[in-house]
Amino acid sequence: MSHRRCRYCLQLFQPSRYHPHQLVCSRPDCQRQRRREYHRRKLHTDPEYHQVCRDSQQKWRCRHPDYSRQYRQSHPKSVERNRQAQRQRDRKRHLRNLVKNNLAFDLKHSAAEVWLLGPQAENLAKNNLAFSQVLILPTVRLSPAAAAGS
């Protein structure tokens, strides 16, 4: 039987005679990665599989009601990272809703550049990760009567 190259570790391996179409070698790390990819793909493509996984997680949480609270207490960095990620998702959702909303109908792209000044800007320029924030400021329109009165 001929050798194959594992798609993960790129090492040559001999496919099992029970699985002649084997594409991944039998090293535990490669098998773990294969299962993880299968699981993620299946979650996206199979609603029933997704539901079964969700039910299973729910049952586990019911059997271990204190786990999440204890984990958060012992992993403050993880809590902060989750909090930041959630804020980012909330901002994105908020922005998407604004775009969908008629009130922001005259939303336009601005080609303006942002220049960073000061000693901390040097650190920011070196860093690949830069936080960005999008602000949408509604224009204030005065009614003709109010404009005439002021």
Residue 8 sits in the site that holds Zn ion (CB under 5 A):
yes
Q: How many residues bind Zn ion (CB under 5 A)?
A: 6
Among 2, 15, 30, 137, binds Zn ion (CB under 5 A): 30
> CB 11 → Zn ion: shortest distance, Å?
6
Give the x-and-dash track for 71-110 against Zn ion (CB under 5 A).
Answer: ----------------------------------------
Measured from the CB atom, is 15 or 49 closer to Zn ion?
15
> CB 44 → Zn ion: shortest distance, Å?
24
Measured from the CB atom, is 21 or 77 closer to Zn ion?
21
Question: Of 101, 90, 103, 80, which Cα lies nearest the Cα of 134?
Answer: 90
List residues binding Zn ion (CB under 5 A). 6, 8-9, 25, 27, 30
